[in-house]
Amino acid sequence: MKSEERKNGENTALWGGRFSQSLDQQVLNYSASLHFDSRLAPQDIRGSKAHAAMLSQVGILSAIELQQINGGFETIEAELAQGTFPFRPELEDIHMNIETRLTELIGDVGKKLHTGRSRNDQVALDLRLFCRDVADGWQLALSRLISAFIERAELTKETLFPASTHLQAAQPISWAHYFLAFAAMFERDLRRLESYKTLHDVSPLGAGALAGTTLPIDPAISAKALGFARPFFNSYDVVGDRDFILELLQIASQIMLHVSRLAEDLVYYSSTLVGLVDLPDKLCTGSSMMPQKKNPDILELARGKTATVLGSAQAMVLLLKGLPSSYNRDLQQDKEHLFPAVDIVSDTLALLPVVISQLQILEARSQELLASGFLMATDLAEALVKRGVPFRRAHEIVGATVGELTRKNRSLISLTVAELQQHYSEADADLLESLKPARVLQERSHSGSTGLKSVADQISELRQALASRSI
Amino acid sequence: MKSEERKNGENTALWGGRFSQSLDQQVLNYSASLHFDSRLAPQDIRGSKAHAAMLSQVGILSAIELQQINGGFETIEAELAQGTFPFRPELEDIHMNIETRLTELIGDVGKKLHTGRSRNDQVALDLRLFCRDVADGWQLALSRLISAFIERAELTKETLFPASTHLQAAQPISWAHYFLAFAAMFERDLRRLESYKTLHDVSPLGAGALAGTTLPIDPAISAKALGFARPFFNSYDVVGDRDFILELLQIASQIMLHVSRLAEDLVYYSSTLVGLVDLPDKLCTGSSMMPQKKNPDILELARGKTATVLGSAQAMVLLLKGLPSSYNRDLQQDKEHLFPAVDIVSDTLALLPVVISQLQILEARSQELLASGFLMATDLAEALVKRGVPFRRAHEIVGATVGELTRKNRSLISLTVAELQQHYSEADADLLESLKPARVLQERSHSGSTGLKSVADQISELRQALASRSI
Amino acid sequence: MKSEERKNGENTALWGGRFSQSLDQQVLNYSASLHFDSRLAPQDIRGSKAHAAMLSQVGILSAIELQQINGGFETIEAELAQGTFPFRPELEDIHMNIETRLTELIGDVGKKLHTGRSRNDQVALDLRLFCRDVADGWQLALSRLISAFIERAELTKETLFPASTHLQAAQPISWAHYFLAFAAMFERDLRRLESYKTLHDVSPLGAGALAGTTLPIDPAISAKALGFARPFFNSYDVVGDRDFILELLQIASQIMLHVSRLAEDLVYYSSTLVGLVDLPDKLCTGSSMMPQKKNPDILELARGKTATVLGSAQAMVLLLKGLPSSYNRDLQQDKEHLFPAVDIVSDTLALLPVVISQLQILEARSQELLASGFLMATDLAEALVKRGVPFRRAHEIVGATVGELTRKNRSLISLTVAELQQHYSEADADLLESLKPARVLQERSHSGSTGLKSVADQISELRQALASRSI
Amino acid sequence: MKSEERKNGENTALWGGRFSQSLDQQVLNYSASLHFDSRLAPQDIRGSKAHAAMLSQVGILSAIELQQINGGFETIEAELAQGTFPFRPELEDIHMNIETRLTELIGDVGKKLHTGRSRNDQVALDLRLFCRDVADGWQLALSRLISAFIERAELTKETLFPASTHLQAAQPISWAHYFLAFAAMFERDLRRLESYKTLHDVSPLGAGALAGTTLPIDPAISAKALGFARPFFNSYDVVGDRDFILELLQIASQIMLHVSRLAEDLVYYSSTLVGLVDLPDKLCTGSSMMPQKKNPDILELARGKTATVLGSAQAMVLLLKGLPSSYNRDLQQDKEHLFPAVDIVSDTLALLPVVISQLQILEARSQELLASGFLMATDLAEALVKRGVPFRRAHEIVGATVGELTRKNRSLISLTVAELQQHYSEADADLLESLKPARVLQERSHSGSTGLKSVADQISELRQALASRSI
């Protein structure tokens, strides 16, 4: 039924190999994590040094032993930096690789490092250090992205375009107002990261396997040395606690949802048939078949990579649901969900300021749409309200007027006083003034609106918020 | 192929009806939200009153008009309370139902209520008011649950059981330490809710459809009247912002993940073959077939309902990903994800204190396991460390001893000095003291451990944290 | 900090009530399923009748007892039809409600109905009957939708528009080809449903709680009576098997993903700034603030409801992951995920044929875009290939030509022979013929293309596929 | 606030680097896929050869050109096999790497390969070939796993253990019946893969970018050469169709859900406190802190990796929802979701037969539980039914008896005739025979039950099903 080629092809290679592996090798491959957790080497060494220093301070290690251990770690750090560290997959994970290497380098003293510690609190520590670094990095990146929006906003306060709801042209707003909307979203994300760091500012070191230890350790010492606000509250909780990973992935999801909505907008605005913005060539690619194509790949990829981050967050939820409390080996997978999501968010936040600063606004197309469209209908209705017409009645008057013009294939700006009087007998020329798009910059005068003053206030408030943080 | 019965059965009923509906009815059914958003009636009225008061304060409504509107709302509130409010599905949603009723009751003045407002900012407001109430309620419920854990912990500081990692017996801890671990989880959730309320403490009223309004409204006035810390920052952002729903669902997910891990534990601990705890009959049900069964249904349901909440959070993510910015009708579905999740979390948090306070601990079974098991192996190894043996070496000595006993089908507590000397020549009777389970209460002396002092400190710290909040 | 109003407002109502409930009521509310599983009444009765008939056939019930039972069910069916059936929430679920009512009606014989049966196999049966009906219904609805696409395709074989990849105009295709692409997607869904029904065509009746029964039942008899292809293979498997729900939700996800892509397209094509299609007013709604708006709500809702269905499928996955085998009470939640998803898919499939048949194609706008655009660039490159130019070289020639014209703000159709000769010296007038959009209808001549012959073949093949099924 | 170490530590390294990258490099890194799609090299070459052969057959390539191209591919295949193929990340993906290399090797003829093809149909083809191979491989692996279950079942037909519902001991079943339940689940998965392969047995080659081509290609020729049942139906559909990836991930989800339930069971059954089974040492690992631990890591990892696969399936859904039809660059991410999920399923299916065949059943523990437990209560009730007691009444009689014994801390097996007569006056010694666990092997006599005959039939039916497939 299938071609001969397939029977003898990949299939054999894919499956034959697997079944001829020795069991030990299969089990090792299935359970090893070194290929991804080697990334935690810096955190693991940082944590081990703090642990050793604490052991020395409480008298479990002598000063000389501590010196030997620190010396060993210096060698290991150098090996890692130079790429000469002898990674051994058969040692399964980064923790055993580093401890084993330490003992090779400094002898039996290395066997004392793991005193009063379990891999359970050790891996929890490494991950917390990693996540804290990531949160710091994202805050920096978000503040750069917000700055990019502010800079574009400064220059586009009076550049109107037809903003939509339901993807149907609704009202004119300035590009500045649009950019500041996204600045506001990412600023919320930045503030979530602040709360996040405070909530999880906890060192797990000393929790042991789940119950602590009978040795005279002091978790507060290592917590302080590692820059944590406090040691763990409860050893049983902290060895199985991955809330700090889940919440970071939830924040990552929120960030990427904002990114995906921005990407969706810009793919739409830059589409051939819409044409409100243009992207620089270097952010686009062509087609292998169609010579004329210029595709907004960076934005599509940002939207697509959003799915990957959201999927990772969901995988983390799937991992934790119904898991017995304390440590279970299932948790090893947390890193496989965390790392790719972290990289995507970091890479995306680093690229977006370029997109925002280099985006070209095609004003002519907007002008054309503002002139022909019906975007000032609300302003006309509100002008009627100012003359005492109840809003629902004003809405009806303008609705009827718009309907009539549409059927005649006419624009709203072409409306005459006489025509308006058909629907509202007291109409006069002043009323038609409200149909000029540029007026929204003055007429929308309250806080948070697209009006000039509001936009200036938004910029100044955001600048202050960023400055006060001095990330 | 299929039986005659089916052809003429439900199938016809299910499908025939659908296709014979008039199109208008189908479209209405598809788009209507009244069947679920009627729940927002209190929030909608609260928001409308604040809006009207603001309109009056800035001179858009007269004092008499405001009075009429407030009078109308009083009637409506009474009708809602008495169940006589005339809900009309053909008006689609709760907002139009209430506004229409208002105009029926007070005439043309009702048509002025929607001045300077759009359904976009109106629905955003209702939802924010709702979510704020929910967050308040969950904080209260969480503090009650934490109190239930503290109360059980007070009485079980010396009641040991064999705690597990990987579901394999690991070390003895007190039930108090176990209960406090969950108290710690739910206390984190409580603190997340605090940050949540601060971050989203924003009134959207005045944002209009997306750009604000030309009328002289003041968003700060209605924000203050509704108890919000500030009005919206950017109108375009706020009409499409559902971050406050997503984050509440993310927190709900976190809470329910904690619940699901607790439920998994207790289903396991109460299973026939484990028997460490027993649940009161009223929290269990029987079997329709097997007369002897007593099933821990409440816990299984809590675990199962966790899936529903996590699914709702995921549906919210699916809703928002790649959605164009500002308002799109897709957002109507947010309520269908929010409401059921809110109810499950609220119901579960209300029931759990009962479970915790009524859970019966079966001490005899624990004693049996503690006596026969190998749970004190770590303590023995640490006793060796105290005598200067490097930890990795001590781990080997005890590992070899345990292996030997296991092969002989012996318990660790039966170990003799002579036997231990085979592996560690300097062994003496004092070392074997470390094998007595009750010693963990004294020997585990550092903060966060299962030791008596640590547990007392945890209880006192938690009590203070709850008291300082006085929710 | 918060206004007085809130402290005494909803909050109290929401929470006070909950805590003052009696425990029994709380537990009942938490565990009851009657409010949603009452929907399964027809399936439950159908299953019970088949069960009773089997019991009678194997001699466990007498002919008279069977008659009494059937008589009782007739009464119950009448009560359900007339809305007089006495639903009692305290009986928890629909199964106990019906059985209890039966015993009320016919006395002690009713107590024999549950012989050799458990709620575990009973509920599994009801759900399988329900899902089978749903699959039948969806197949019918899909075939109607496919027919709607075919009908539009018949009339639009020569109506070209600029199709996109990456939302950038790519090549002209006919609307017929576009409609048939979606017909193809939904036809795949239809075929998936066929496989689905075959795979799960199994009766669980007789599996009991998990191990079958010692009574002389015959599962094959009831399976046949209910129209199933076979009885269960393994009792332990079938009581905990919810694969048939998961797979139905996976198919629902696939269907709704197709819907969501169609909706996304049509929202885009009907957006003010694109304007390729228009939707009839009755499928749109207006704005409460902006008098000119006409929003494609039905499509946005279809896209939004997709999120709900996908979330339900995910909730089902979350429910099942890591669940102990056989029956666990968690499974009660399966219905809360299944029913809303089923309704959304059914409602959406019923509405879509209306959207497709009433969609108005705005040809003038397409003509304008086809004339000015660069959509024929590939055809020009292929014309060069026909003259022996390697494709990659032809792609370069046309790419350079397009670039030049773009910089001069010229359309491709305005290209002259002389200009083309700059890049390809052997160019002549014949080559420029390939730039006429209408030629794609003849020139694309292979199967599956947008060419006239291919489109006619597609229509005919689809018609045959539908006819051969005669759903 | 934070330690000095952090300010100058990883953070700088993590972030400084990113921002000092040149933009081009950043964009390239963000959009490149070579690091993962290089895995598709075999499929890409297979597809290109079939494409070239078709081009030659329809006269677009000469016989000599085809020979040159095939020669070039031979060299490339050799380079790939030997690891000397010059991968160039700056060429972005595997397709451009291979085509570029081909042209380097054979000159301008290489530029003709892409004639009548787009990357859109090319990548769709590679992925379809890959997925088809994967489905074949999984079918083979599933049949091996099912065989492992059958082999264990053969030897455990009479080995009873207390099976549970709700994790509460319910009724005795044989291990054979338990193993066959999982064999049945995986056999369903196997059959789903069959339907899957049939549904998506389609070649996309010839669809071009979205509309086909004007060149005289014949999609049927390449489809046949590649072993597909048919060429694509509609070019516009097929370039954006990723249903075959989604459905494969849905099946992967189903398979892993079965795995996760098995893993949950076995983690439970092998836990210290339950002790029904034991796992061989080589499938377990120890603890770094606790010398006595033996953890069922392979099973926990299988359960944990299930989360990863389910997360990937969800990421795919997130990717597709609301995506415009035809090709969008977002789709590049499909591979990042597909590949890891494929590897996990393949690795897990390869390991599980080892787990099943090496699992040690601890019979003594089961015997103890069967003797003391109440698992025969249903059988006693059914014995009453056989004497004419209505089932609900029999259930009450036995329920009351069980309750009495429980309160007296007695086992059911110790029940005397006199005691039973208290509840059922006609009781005699024969009735008590039904309380012997071993009787279930004979007494459960209907198909699908745990009875000996049924289990033998199940084994024989499964063997036939596997044989008839001869995978």
Q: pLDDT digit of tens for each residue in chain A (471 aa)?
A: 333 333 333 333 333 343 445 667 888 899 989 999 999 999 999 999 999 999 999 999 999 999 999 999 999 999 999 999 999 988 989 999 999 999 999 999 999 999 999 999 999 999 999 999 999 999 999 999 999 999 999 999 999 999 999 999 999 999 999 999 999 999 999 999 999 999 999 999 999 999 999 999 999 999 999 999 999 999 999 999 999 999 999 999 999 999 999 999 999 999 999 999 999 888 888 888 888 888 999 999 999 999 999 999 999 999 999 999 999 999 999 999 999 999 999 999 999 999 999 999 999 999 988 987 689 999 999 999 999 999 999 999 999 999 899 889 899 999 999 999 999 999 999 999 999 999 999 999 999 999 999 999 999 999 999 999 865
**Boundary residue ending a domain (B342, B362, B382):** B362
B213-238 pLDDT, tens digit per residue, is 999 999 999 999 999 999 999 999 99
**Confidence bin at C16 (pLDDT 50/70/90):** very low
Residue of C nearest to B290 (CA): C209
Which chain D residues are Cβ-neighbours of A346 within 8 angstroms? 14-15, 18
* Location of structure tokens 């001991």: D169
Is C6 part of a structural domain of the chain? no
Same domain, D187 and D107: no
Residue of chain A whose Cα is closest to the Cα of D340: A336
Contacts of C217 (CB under 8 A, 6+ apart): C54, C55, C58, C60, C116, C206, D446
From the DSSP assignment, how many helices (H) and strands (E) are in chain D? 21, 6
CA C284 to chain centre: 22
3-class state of residue D206 by DSSP: coil
Q: Give the span between the Cα atoms of D109 and D127, in whole angstroms.
A: 26
Give the number of other CB atoms < 10 A from CB of residue C452: 18
Domain count, chain D: 3
Helix (H) or strand (E) holding A303: helix A297-320
Task: For residues B330 and B420, state if they share a domain.
Answer: no
Cα angle for residues C290, C296, C300 (degrees, 5° grid): 115
Tell me which H or E stretch contains C296. Answer: none
Is C306 in the same domain as C420? Answer: no
Among C3, C337, C350, select the one facing B18 at the smallest CB separation. Answer: C350
CA angle centred on A115, ends A113 and A121, rounded to 5°: 95
Specify the pLDDT at position B7.
40
- What's the confidence (pLDDT) of residue D282? 82
D209 lies in some domain? yes
Q: Is residue C26 part of a domain?
A: no
Q: Does A357 share its domain with A396?
A: no
pLDDT of residue B292: 86
Distance, CA of C375 to CA of C357 (rounded, Å): 28
Query: Could you tell me the CA-to-CA distances from C128 to C45, C201, C202, C255, D231 in Å, in that order?
Result: 13, 8, 8, 20, 36
Q: What six digits make up the tokens of A196?
A: 């996040």
From its phi and psi, is residue B212 left (phi > 0), alpha (psi between -120 and 50) or beta?
left
Q: Are residues A358 and A373 in the same domain?
A: no
Segment D148-163 mean pLDDT: 98
Taking only residues 102 to 141 of chain B, the set having a beta carbon closer than 8 angstroms to any beta carbon of chain A reads: 103, 108-109, 111-116, 120
Residues B440 and B422 in one domain: yes
Per-residue tokens: C24 = 């029994």
Query: Do B107 and B126 belong to one domain?
Result: no
Report the alpha-carbon distance of residue C119 to residue B359 in Å, rounded.
Answer: 27
Residue C71: CB atoms within 10 Å: 14
pLDDT of residue D113: 96
pLDDT at A144: 97
Beta carbons of D167 and B271 less than 8 Å apart: yes
Model confidence at B373, in pLDDT bands (50, 70, 90)?
low
pLDDT of residue B12: 35
- Structural domain includes residue A1: no
A303, closest residue in chain C (CA to CA): C166
Q: Answer whether residue B212 is part of any domain.
A: yes
Chain D touching partners, 3 or more CB pairs below 8 A: A, B, C
CB C434 within 8 A of CB C380: yes
**What is the pLDDT, as a whole number, of residue C209?**
96
For chain D, the average pLDDT equals: 93
Q: D307 vs A285: CB contact, 8 Å cut-off? A: no
Residues D342 and D225 in one domain: yes
Residue B146 to residue B180: CA distance in whole angstroms: 8
A133 and A272 inside one domain: yes
Identify any residues that bridge with D277 across adjacent strands, giving them in sequence order. D361
Nearest in space to B257 (alpha carbons), one of C247, A341, A249: A249
Higher pLDDT, A22 or B34: B34
Measure the CA–CA gap between B398 and B379, rounded to whole angstroms. Answer: 10
Q: How confident is the model at residue D22 (pLDDT cuts 50, 70, 90)?
A: low
Question: Which region among A370-384, C311-325, D186-200, D265-279 has the lowest average model confidence (pLDDT)?
Answer: A370-384
In whole angstroms, how far apart are CA B390 and each of A47, A54, A56, A107?
Answer: 19, 16, 14, 11
Residue D87 and residue D211 in one domain: no
Residues 318-377 (C) with a CB less than 8 A from some CB of B: 318-319, 328-333, 336-337, 340, 346-348, 350-351, 354
C166 is catalytic: yes
CA distance B195 to D169: 45
- Look at residue C399 and tell me whether its pLDDT is greater than 60: yes
Q: Which of these, B264, B257, B196, B348, lies nearest to A241 by C-alpha position?
A: B257
Same domain, A352 and A401: no
Look up the domain containing B110 and give its range.
32-115
Identify the three-state secondary structure at position A442. Answer: helix
In a domain, B178, yes or no: yes
Residue C12 predicted with pLDDT over 50: no
Taking only the tens place, the pLDDT of each residue in B248-274 is 999 999 999 999 999 999 999 999 999
Q: Give the Cα separation of C3 and B458 in Å (integer).
A: 34
pTM of this prediction? 0.95
Flag whether pLDDT at C406 surpasses 90: no
- The pLDDT confidence band at residue C14, using thresholds 50, 70 and 90, is very low
Q: Is A173 helix (H, G, I), strand (E, B) or coil?
A: strand
For residues D450 and D173, is the Cβ–Cβ distance under 8 A? yes
Report the SS3 class of residue D226. coil
Query: Could you give the CA distance from residue C198 to residue C193 in angstroms, rounded to a whole number?
Result: 9
* CB neighbour burial string for C22-35, b if at least 16 within 10 angstroms, e if fewer: eeeebbbebbbbbe
Q: What's the token pair of residue D259?
A: 């795995």
Report residue D106 as tokens.
């054979």
> Which H or E run contains C278?
strand C277-278
CB contact under 8 A, C304 and B332: yes
- For chain B, state the CA radius of gyration: 31
Give residue D21's pLDDT.
55
Of D362, D388, D420, the residue that ends a domain is D362
Q: Which of C362, C395, C422 is the last residue of a domain?
A: C362
CATH of the domain at B72: 1.10.275.10
If pLDDT is split at 50, 70 and 90, which confidence band does D354 have?
Answer: very high
Nearest to A262 by CA among A157, A152, A183: A183
Q: What's the CATH code of the domain at B374?
A: 1.10.40.30
Place of tokens 């159908």: C46
Return the CATH number at B339: 1.20.200.10
Distance CA B379, CA B390 (A): 14
A residues 236-295 near C, CB within 8 Å? 267-268, 271-274, 276, 286-295
Does residue A184 belong to the interface with chain B, where contact is any CB pair within 8 Å? Answer: yes
Question: What per-residue confidence (pLDDT) applies to C290?
Answer: 87
pLDDT-above-90 percentage for chain C: 86
- Contact indicator for D69, D102 with CB cutoff of 8 Å: yes
What local confidence, expressed as pLDDT, does residue B11 receive?
36
- Residue that the structure tokens 């002919």 belong to: C63
Q: How many CA within 13 A on the CB side of residue B397?
A: 24
pLDDT surpasses 50 at C19: no
Report residue D2 as tokens. 């934070």
Residue-wise pLDDT tens digits, B57-77:
999 999 999 999 999 999 999
Per-residue burial over A77-115, b = 16 or more CB atoms within 10 Å of its CB, e = otherwise: beebeeeebeeeeebbbbbbbbbebbbebbeebbbbbbb
Please state, in angstroms and rounded to a whole number, the distance separating the CA atoms of residues C371 and C368: 5
pLDDT tens-digit series, residues D293-339: 889 999 999 999 999 999 999 999 999 999 999 999 999 999 999 99
- Could you give the count of Cα atoms lying within 13 Å of B281 in the half-sphere of its Cβ? 4
Question: Considering CB atoms only, which of A209, A304, A333 is closest to D290?
Answer: A209
The total of other beta-carbon atoms located within 10 Å of residue D12's CB is 12
Answer yes or no: do D11 and A136 touch at CB < 8 A: yes
Q: Is C447 on the interface with A (CB under 8 A)?
A: no
Longest CA–CA separation in chain D, Å: 99
Q: Cα separation of B242 and B408, whole Å?
A: 64
Helix D41-57 vs helix D119-155: crossing angle, to nearest 10: 130
Does residue D330 share a domain with residue D401?
no
- For C449, the 3-state DSSP assignment is coil
Strand locations in A175-259 (E)? 202-203, 230-231
pLDDT in tens, D39-87: 999 999 999 999 999 999 999 999 999 999 999 999 999 999 999 999 9
pLDDT number for residue A470: 64
Backbone angles phi, psi at B228, to 5 degrees: -85, 150
User: C1 in a domain, yes or no?
Assistant: no
- CB distance from D12 to chain A under 8 Å? no
Average confidence (pLDDT) over B348-367: 95
pLDDT category of residue C118 using cuts at 50, 70 and 90:
very high
3-state secondary structure of C242: coil
Is B165 a member of any domain?
A: no
